[in-house]
Amino acid sequence: MNDSEPRDFIRKIIDEDLESGKHAEIVTRFPPEPNGYLHIGHVMSICLNFGVAAETGGRTYLRFDDTNPGKESPEYVEAIEKDVHWLGFDWGDRLTHASDYFDRLYQSAIELIEKGVAYVDSLSAEEIREYRGTLTEPGKDSPYRDRSIDENLDLFARMYAGEFADGEHLLRAKIDMASPNMNLRDPAIYRIRHIPHQNAGDKWCIYPMYDFAHGLSDAYEGITHSLCTLEFEDHRPLYDWFLDQLQPEHRPRQIEFSRLNIAYAITSKRKLNALVEEGVVSGWDDPRMPTIAGMRRRGYPPEALREFVVRAGVTKKDKLIEMGALENCVRETLGDSAPRRMAVLRPLKVVLTNYPEDQVEVMEAKNHPGNPDFGTREMPFSRELWIEQDDFMEDAPRKFFRLKPGGEVRLRFGYIIRCDEVIKNDDGDVVELRCSYDPDTRSGTGTSDRKVKGTIHWVSCKHAVDASVRLYDRLFTEANPNAVEDFHSVLNPDSLETVSARLEPSLGELAAGETVQFERLGYFCKDAVDDGAIFNRVVTLRDSWAKLEKQALQQA
């Protein structure tokens, strides 16, 4: 963000804290739980936390809040590190885990017991729910709430030693069972889980709860501003309560901002995991998924995601942003950076009957129409060509300026051709066009000044690369699938179409993960996971969903 751009409310707070001398340096953290892959919502948090620190010469920690070993794995840790790096951010030597602080957290829990504000509860999980009350009714004290400090210390030490089964005891904070804020009704601090930890190994059989570990980890690292999404707003009094009780050397401040939600997508890790487990998608990196891994595999450039976050803005108001807004950022970025190539997705053969059978010409094609620095490439031209089926219409309307019986078009970087004959199969389908070319109309060197209104792309049959092209669309048919009782009911059955395409020969040399524009068709990326000539459509050239999406969001 440059100085001329308006400051969001978080940056204004940080500016004031620096100007007042409250903080000499800004220290933030991005604290993902390694229980799934990062998604578009996390992009906002990543850019915000790393961004506000970098803008002020501060530091950012990448900290894994790994307090729930039953759902965490090294796979997720590795994927998260890769995603953050790919977005363009570096944490240097500040890679940490909540589990790095398990010894300190354990001692902090003992301190709470010694102060008489934490106790070991022996109610069952069902009884704890019954005692907790509701939003309209206060809870009631556990019969174990008044255990002595010595008894609580003994029980907690035995929990640590592994004497008890999972769920047999629970360490809770002693706050207020009548509080209107449910998070303050004696929340859990530690639970028994006889599960190995992805970072700490087999050392622990009790694990701190997220709300307890998160704020203290912030304090241990000297975090100045703990930036969280709005769902943690009701947790802030608990965050502050632990800090008040334990009085760490550093006192972080929690500030909440709205989540980044996009239309026609879900960002619940539980639901995303269900899509993976049920085989609805091929994995967390399926290009239809709103995960960073999926968007990277699809071909979204990181610059586009960062720009999308800037345009979305940092606010306190929940928002559902059009998918088209993200796709426009992708188009704008790739429009300048992606070289042009020619590909035919739904091939229709054209035979130039007056072109020499064995002749092959080399056409010079621009790699980018708006930037001569991209240079040119050579494209072979021969008697038999592939064109798009949509570029021919037998019963064409008056304003159809592509190929039709008796009609003429220019082949891009090639000649003007005329359709003389239409060949059909036994079912009446058009399978071939017999055409003639005008040898005086070669692009750039033609001696004729004759012009036609239509220009289409093509690929030489004998030189074409066969490829499988995946055409992706919205994964859901509803703008807000989170509002639907069963998100499975609004899955888009047409979210993926695979076609057998023909590509110009230079595309056979494209490296995995590289993105180009297929002229007139859209932006496409060579798949970085599956072997072979497989291309993913990144985004179409125009937003065909714009009107529909706007109407759907108005109704949502």
Q: Which residues are catalytic?
A: 33, 259, 269
* 439 within 8 A of 424, measured Cβ to Cβ: no
Q: How far is Cα of residue 71 from the mean position of the Cα atoms in its chain? A: 20
> In whole angstroms, what is the distance from residue 98 CA to residue 217 CA?
6
User: Helix-strand-coil percent breakdown of the chain, rounded to 5?
Assistant: 35, 25, 40
Buried b / exposed e along 284-299 (16+ C-beta atoms within 10 A): bbbbbbbbbbbbbbbb
- Taking the CA atoms of the chain, what radius of gyration do you get in angstroms? 30
Around Cβ 282, how many Cβ atoms within 10 Å? Answer: 17
Contact 30, 277 (CB under 8 A): no
Q: Which of 183, 180, 163 is nearest to 172 (CA)?
A: 183
For residues 337 and 380, is the Cβ–Cβ distance under 8 A?
Answer: no
List Cβ neighbours of 531 (8 Å cut-off, separation of 6 or more): none
Beta bridge partners of 388: 347
What residues have CB less than 8 Å from 161, skipping those under 6 apart?
A: none
Closest CA to 252 of 386, 61, 529, 440: 61
CA nearest to 288, candidates 277, 305, 275? 275
- The secondary structure element, H or E, covering residue 298 is helix 292-298
The CA distance from 170 to 190, in Å, is 6
* CA-based nearest residue to 262, from 236, 288, 224, 239: 288
